[in-house]
Amino acid sequence: MITGLTGNAGHGSRINLVRKRPSSIDVARLAEVSQATVSYVLSNRTDKVISEVTRSKVLAAAEKLSYMPNRLADGILRGKTLTVGVLMPDFGHSFNSKILIGLESEFADAGYSILIAHNRNEPELERHQVRMLMEHRVAGIIAVGDEATIAELPAWVEQAIKLDVDVCVVDDSSLDGIVDTVVSDDIAGANLAVGHLISQGHERIAFLGGSELTTTSRDRRIGYEQALQRHGIDVDPALQLGHHYRTDVDPDLSPLIVGPHRATAVFGVSDGLVGQAMMRLESEGIYRRDILAFVGYGNLEFSRYLWLTTIEQHPIEMGRRAASRMIARLSGKVSDPVTDRVPPELVVRRSSFPAKEF
Amino acid sequence: MITGLTGNAGHGSRINLVRKRPSSIDVARLAEVSQATVSYVLSNRTDKVISEVTRSKVLAAAEKLSYMPNRLADGILRGKTLTVGVLMPDFGHSFNSKILIGLESEFADAGYSILIAHNRNEPELERHQVRMLMEHRVAGIIAVGDEATIAELPAWVEQAIKLDVDVCVVDDSSLDGIVDTVVSDDIAGANLAVGHLISQGHERIAFLGGSELTTTSRDRRIGYEQALQRHGIDVDPALQLGHHYRTDVDPDLSPLIVGPHRATAVFGVSDGLVGQAMMRLESEGIYRRDILAFVGYGNLEFSRYLWLTTIEQHPIEMGRRAASRMIARLSGKVSDPVTDRVPPELVVRRSSFPAKEF
DNA sequence: ATGAAAGCGCTAACAA
DNA sequence: TTGTTAGCGCTTTCAT
């Protein structure tokens, strides 16, 4: 089982069977200084004055041994590490992956590492994962919003705060005011989308909605209604379709084309839903992208292949903001919990052509 | 700066300003046993016999204090942690995210945590990240293949092995035979794709290629040529297009439709490239998806919206296999480095219709 | 069946 | 300017 049996040159009385990595003691011995001096030099402390000779002796010794400090020791001393935990529902969704990109880049630049925890939408697993993060002594936890585990949040967040672990929630505003929160402004986004359709001359605009378990779909419906009302257009309940916020549902839009409730445009709460609906129309032979205008939400990768006008939420930026807020807190800046609503942006493509009557 | 100033009930001589988490010593005191006993109980050791009374006393005390073991201490003792590092070029690509999903699920089940390191395609950063992982005393490193940093691999891999850190490379076979490797079988995949087109009656099949910096694009070209030759079809260099393996390139396929080098089908080395090409045709008004058949590669999210026939690489499975191989190694199973070629799968959609002459 | 003590790698306080 | 010492939270001999 033991492969490299090199009893490392006598500094311990017992023979070590596993290769031990050089410690700061080894560096100290080689440089002929004390362990404390090594620590002073290697952490470039400005408050300690070190002579140039010792400094270079230490540096040379560290180099020779290819010494790498053990972050665990540091963490044990300080009670916490330079590590943050990221609790993810599902990085299969590019929206979440992009949040992660933003988080990572900010944290990496600030010297923090990221421990990931994937809850797979299972509340049970989430509790496990949070515990794991705590045992790792992470300095903070970033929680990415998710329908399934949203109910678990309050319980562990309270505990985390009690244990001096900072928390920031991204893409969910249910803990708004209690912890730092970064969300996309869904009401504004829906206003952009529907306002755009109205400016194109559309008045019969259908709404393709989803589950309102999270605030996402609800807020987008609110924005939809706001935009209509702002332009003096009545909200017609017959034009509100869809019940689930899942891409595996097949919303049937044919009534909008042939039925008594004709529409000239559709605003959907997610690109997935809209894409699905377009596919269905196309599949049924009533491929009429030229008579029904579409605006989706989320600017997913596939949307440009459908020439789909949509709303960009800037998830990378959301991640960045969440990270930098946490970094601020971790570096001692205290403030009341802040909620940051990232403004979305309209991305115009061919699917939102002007109404024919125009 | 210090918020919760609770000098925790006298067990230290100095007043602690920051709230300290309960340690195993605290549990021991409360349970009126020794620290060692606490350790025995909480790690459920089978080799130590503990009376039922002490066991429950300890458990109760731990519960009361909501004690959470400090993994750092454990790690410092054992020289390594129950953590593995994952080195990613870019989790903006869903292929990579999916690998991560597979990795995570296997590792989580085995009790390992994941520390992520994003090299952003920068070799310089990669060195930094590897160092960071080493300092964290990860037990192993999973490297996900990438053109830009591929050249860095040998250097740090050698060092890692020397430091007793296991390595497994996913989606790159350049270290084939030196470390465990998990890749997708690109030659087989291209054979599937082109074989399918041939079985549909196509003979004039164009190849849309990419940069051959990694083996990916080259292997897919080899598979393309193999399939043609296997069916007695000559390889026509005039039908090989494209130079870059990037989705921001606009391959012009119009010569295949109108020029002297007509083709009836196209096999592209990535769905992105093919999607781009289809978009361009559509954009130029020569939207003739019905006269040119397409097969892509990768089965990206958007592909189904283009009804694109493609090759599924099973990235989640690739991640799973990489993780379980590493777990095996970490639990002491030794063997020579293994290369695992995950078989790809053909996904047939409308874009690969039969040749008209058929 | 349990405990005392040493020690992992490091930094902070205090001495020299 | 540098060194000595203690101690972070834990597991592991070795005693009892």
Whether B245 shows a pLDDT value over 90: the answer reads no
Beta strands in A68-208 (DSSP E): 83-88, 113-118, 140-144, 166-170, 180-184, 205-208
pLDDT at A178: 94
Percent of chain A with pLDDT over 90: 65
DSSP B210: -
Instruction: Report the C-alpha gap between A128 and A139 in whole angstroms.
Output: 18
Task: Based on the fold, state whether residues A177 and A191 are members of the same structural domain.
Answer: no
Mean pLDDT of A63-79: 95
Task: Based on the fold, state whether residues B192 and B217 are members of the same structural domain.
Answer: yes
DSSP string spanning A219-276?
A: HHHHHHHHHHHHTTPPP-GGGEE-----TT-----HHHHHSSS--SEEEES-HHHHHH
Residues in chain A within 8 Å Cβ distance of B101: 91-92, 118
**Amino acid sitting at position B130:** V
- B322 is near strand C: CB distance < 7 Å: no
**Amino acid sitting at position B34:** S
Whether B328 shows a pLDDT value over 90: the answer reads yes
Average pLDDT, chain A: 87
Residues in chain B within 8 Å Cβ distance of A97: 91-92, 94, 97
* A216 is a domain residue: yes
**All residues at 6 or more sequence positions from B90 whose CB lies less than 8 Å from its CB, including other chains:** B96, B118, B120, B121, B146
Q: Tell me how long chain A is.
A: 358
Q: What CATH number does residue B107 fall under?
A: 3.40.50.2300
Distances (CA, A) of B267 to A98, B95, B198: 30, 20, 11
* B111 is a domain residue: yes
As a three-state string, the secondary structure of A202-216 is: CCCEEEECCCCCCHH
Mean pLDDT of A291-318: 94
pLDDT at B46: 86
* B194 is a domain residue: yes
Beta bridge partners of A118: A88
pLDDT at A198: 97
* DSSP element (H, E) containing B168: strand B166-170
Minimum-distance CB partner of B114 among A115, A164, A278: A115
Scanning B84-185, the segments in alpha helix (DSSP H) are 94-109, 123-135, 153-162
Distance B26 CA to C1 C1' (A): 21
Mean pLDDT of B197-220: 89
Q: What CATH number does residue B33 fall under?
A: 1.10.260.40
- Kindly state whether B10 is in contact with chain A, defined as any CB-CB distance less than 8 angstroms: no
- A199 is near strand C: CB distance < 7 Å: no
Residues in chain B within 8 Å Cβ distance of A18: 79, 164
Mean pLDDT of B244-248: 47
Taken in order B120, B126, B132, B137, the sign of the CA dihedral is positive
Whether A5 shows a pLDDT value over 70: the answer reads no
Tell me which of B170 and A46 has the higher pLDDT. Answer: B170
Tokens of A74: 């540091």
Total Cβ atoms within 10 A of residue A218: 17
pLDDT at A326: 97
Task: Based on the fold, state whether residues B198 and B257 are members of the same structural domain.
Answer: yes
* A354 is a domain residue: no
Residue found under tokens 């596993």? A18
Average pLDDT, chain B: 88
| pLDDT classification of A320: cutoffs 50, 70, 90 | very high
Residue of B nearest to A109 (CA): B125
Shortest Cα–Cα distance, A230 to chain B (Å): 34
- A25 is near strand C: CB distance < 7 Å: yes
Task: Based on the fold, state whether residues A305 and A320 are members of the same structural domain.
Answer: no
Chain C positions with a protein C-beta closer than 7 Å: 1-13
Whether A16 shows a pLDDT value over 50: the answer reads no
- B339 is near strand C: CB distance < 7 Å: no
* DSSP element (H, E) containing A123: helix A123-135
Residues in chain B within 8 Å Cβ distance of A63: none
Distance A3 CA to C1 C1' (A): 36
Task: Based on the fold, state whether residues A190 and A305 are members of the same structural domain.
Answer: yes
- A254 is near strand C: CB distance < 7 Å: no
Task: Based on the fold, state whether residues A162 and A176 are members of the same structural domain.
Answer: yes
Task: Based on the fold, state whether residues A240 and A332 are members of the same structural domain.
Answer: no
Minimum-distance CB partner of B305 among A115, A125, A306: A306
Task: Based on the fold, state whether residues A158 and A199 are members of the same structural domain.
Answer: no
- Kindly state whether A319 is in contact with chain B, defined as any CB-CB distance less than 8 angstroms: no
Chosen for mutation from A84, A301, A330, A334 (greatest number of chain B CBs closer than 10 Å) is A301
DSSP string spanning A298-338?
A: S--GGGGGGT-BEEE--HHHHHHHHHHHHHHHHTT------
- A2 is near strand D: CB distance < 7 Å: no
Number of domains in chain A: 3
Tell me which of A247 and B131 has the higher pLDDT. Answer: B131
Shortest Cα–Cα distance, A128 to chain B (Å): 10
Could you give the count of Cα atoms lying within 13 Å of B100 in the half-sphere of its Cβ? 33
Shortest Cα–Cα distance, A235 to chain B (Å): 31
Shortest Cα–Cα distance, B101 to chain A (Å): 7
pLDDT at A113: 97
- A54 is near strand D: CB distance < 7 Å: yes
Host domain of residue A206 = 186-313
pLDDT at A240: 87
* B346 is a domain residue: no
* B151 is a domain residue: yes
Is 0.95 surpassed by the pTM of this model?
no
Task: Based on the fold, state whether residues B94 and B171 are members of the same structural domain.
Answer: yes
Instruction: Report the C-alpha gap between A328 and B173 in whole angstroms.
Output: 42
Tell me which of A158 and B2 has the higher pLDDT. Answer: A158
* B48 is a domain residue: yes
> Which letter, b or e, does each residue of A88-111 get, where b requires 16 or more Cβ atoms within 10 Å of its Cβ?
bbbbbbbbbbbbbbbbbbbbbebe
pLDDT single digits (tens) B45-69: 888 889 999 999 999 999 999 999 9
pLDDT at A7: 34
Total Cβ atoms within 10 A of residue B97: 24
- B8 is near strand D: CB distance < 7 Å: no
As a three-state string, the secondary structure of B255-303 is: HHHHCCCCCCEEEECCHHHHHHHHHHHHHCCCCCCCCCEEECCCCCHHH
Minimum-distance CB partner of B97 among A75, A91, A104: A91
Which domain-ending residue is among A31, A46, A69? Answer: A69
Minimum-distance CB partner of A115 among B69, B100, B113: B113
B120/A113 CB distance under 8 A: no
Beta bridge partners of B183: B341
Minimum-distance CB partner of A72 among B75, B159, B301: B75
pLDDT at B8: 36
Whether B11 shows a pLDDT value over 50: the answer reads no
Residue of A nearest to B247 (CA): A301
Chain D positions with a protein C-beta closer than 7 Å: 1-13
- B42 is near strand C: CB distance < 7 Å: no
pLDDT at B121: 81
Residues in chain A within 8 Å Cβ distance of B73: 72, 76
Task: Based on the fold, state whether residues A120 and A37 are members of the same structural domain.
Answer: no
Mean pLDDT of A78-94: 92
Which domain-ending residue is among A22, A46, A69? Answer: A69
* A336 is a domain residue: yes
Instruction: Report the C-alpha gap between B325 and A339 in whole angstroms.
Output: 43
pLDDT single digits (tens) A138-161: 999 999 988 777 888 999 999 999
Of B232, B305, B226, whose CA–CA distance to B267 is shortest? B226
pLDDT single digits (tens) A27-67: 999 999 999 999 999 998 888 888 999 999 999 999 999 99
Task: Based on the fold, state whether residues B309 and B319 are members of the same structural domain.
Answer: no
Task: Based on the fold, state whether residues B307 and B323 are members of the same structural domain.
Answer: no
Which domain-ending residue is among B278, B297, B313? Answer: B313
pLDDT single digits (tens) A244-299: 445 445 667 777 777 778 899 999 999 998 988 888 887 776 655 678 899 999 99
pLDDT single digits (tens) A207-246: 998 877 778 888 999 999 999 999 999 999 888 887 644 5
pLDDT at B294: 95
